[in-house]
Amino acid sequence: MALEALEMLARDEWRGMVVANQGKDFCLGANIGLFILLAGTGDPNAIENAVKGLQDYLMAFRFSPKPVVTAPRQRVLGGGAEVAMAGARIVAAAETYIGLVEFGVGVIPAGGGCKELLRRVVSPHMTNDKVDALGYLQQVFETIAYAKVSESAFVARERGFLSPCDTIVMNDDDLIGVAKATAIHLAETGYMPPDRNAASIYAIGRRGKAAMEMAVNTLRWGKYISEHDALIARKLAHVLCGGDLSSPQWVTEQYILDLEREAFCSLLGEPKTQERISYMLKYAKPLRN
């Protein structure tokens, strides 16, 4: 549906696009059962192709020549949060409960969630050479690792899910209308998409990764987290720090997306992650194994 909508958007008669619904919730995330089925096919490329497809269509939203506005409301979890953040603007209902909850089923966000929080929370502060990225990086790490779900759109803004230029609407009945007006306004004021090839994400590299892994090891030694929790957390630290870069540098969004996809596919191959997913599907609550 998203790809067909983007094809329609390319036609001259459309100025922009709104991603919204009028159901109980905006989106509760990806179909995690599908990934278990893909893992059982024995095709090593099946999962990676599925994740790459998700990344590609969300980045098509983000880099669309015409503005795409997302209008989240109520629960916006996992892949739903990634859909919301892929737009040129977010118009959110005040009662929007948004979070990246993938850690609870043994994986990390792989549809751009890690990348977007780095772009929104860490990167804006790093144009100043005297600023240390670790504090902001820790905020992103905790938001994802603790599967924090914002209690409102205002809290979502504090955590980086909404940017300062995004809009919060108090009345749900006005949400889609405001989102439509926002898309039209962007189109009429000369909207230009971001540069896909720009190095716009700050990656701290090995120094940050070492610090974060030490914190993870301390939690593990204190038996506050399981060994599998520690594995997931180390994978998350690897992605958020930009891998094993020898020094801090600016990287492209695609660079972080590739790290997300690699970590997700690796974790999905872990038996304990598959146990967590199966348990969530059966009992609708997380398993700590």
Nearest to 78 by CA among 34, 112, 52: 112
In order along its 289 residues, the chain shows pLDDT tens digits of 888 999 999 999 999 999 999 999 999 998 888 887 887 776 778 889 999 999 999 999 999 999 999 999 999 999 999 999 999 999 999 999 999 999 999 999 999 999 999 999 999 999 888 889 999 999 999 999 999 999 999 999 999 999 999 999 999 999 999 999 999 999 999 999 999 999 999 999 999 999 999 999 999 999 999 999 999 999 999 999 999 999 999 999 999 999 999 999 999 989 999 999 999 989 988 898 8
Query: Looking at the domain assignment, is residue 237 inside a domain?
Result: yes
Comparing CA positions, the residue from 287, 284, 279, 277 lying closest to residue 33 is 277
- d(Cα 277, Cα 36) in Å, to the nearest integer? 8
Q: Output the pLDDT for position 10.
A: 93
The C-alpha atoms of residue 23 and residue 130 are separated, in whole angstroms, by 46
Contact 82, 19 (CB under 8 A): no
d(CA 269, CA 282): 19
Select from 92, 81, 54 the least CA-distant residue to 260.
Answer: 54
We report the CATH number of the domain holding residue 265 as: 3.90.226.10
Determine the Cα–Cα distance for residues 129 and 115; give it in Å rounded to an integer. Answer: 21
Distance CA 288, CA 279 (A): 10
Which pLDDT score, from 0 to 100, does residue 199 have? 97
Residue 40 has a pLDDT of 74
Best CA proximity match to 5, nearest among 47, 63, 48, 68: 68
Query: For position 258, what pLDDT does the model report?
Result: 97
Q: Which domain holds residue 175?
A: 2-283
Q: Tell how far CA 186 is from the center of its chain.
A: 23
Q: Tell me, yes or no, whether 275 lies in a domain.
A: yes
Q: What is the DSSP letter of 27?
A: B
Please give the pLDDT value at position 45: 86
Cα distance between residue 81 and residue 123, in whole Å = 19
Helices (H) and strands (E) in the chain, counts: 12, 8
Give pLDDT, residue 128: 84
Strand partners, 17: 68
Q: Is residue 288 part of a domain?
A: no
Residue 90 lies in a domain: yes
How many domains is the chain built from? 1
Maximum Cα–Cα distance across the chain: 60
Residue 27 pairs in a beta bridge with 76
pTM score of the predicted model:
0.95
HSE-up (13 A, CA, CB side) for residue 43? 10
The answer to whether the beta carbons of residues 186 and 67 sit under 8 Å apart is yes
* 289 part of a folded domain: no
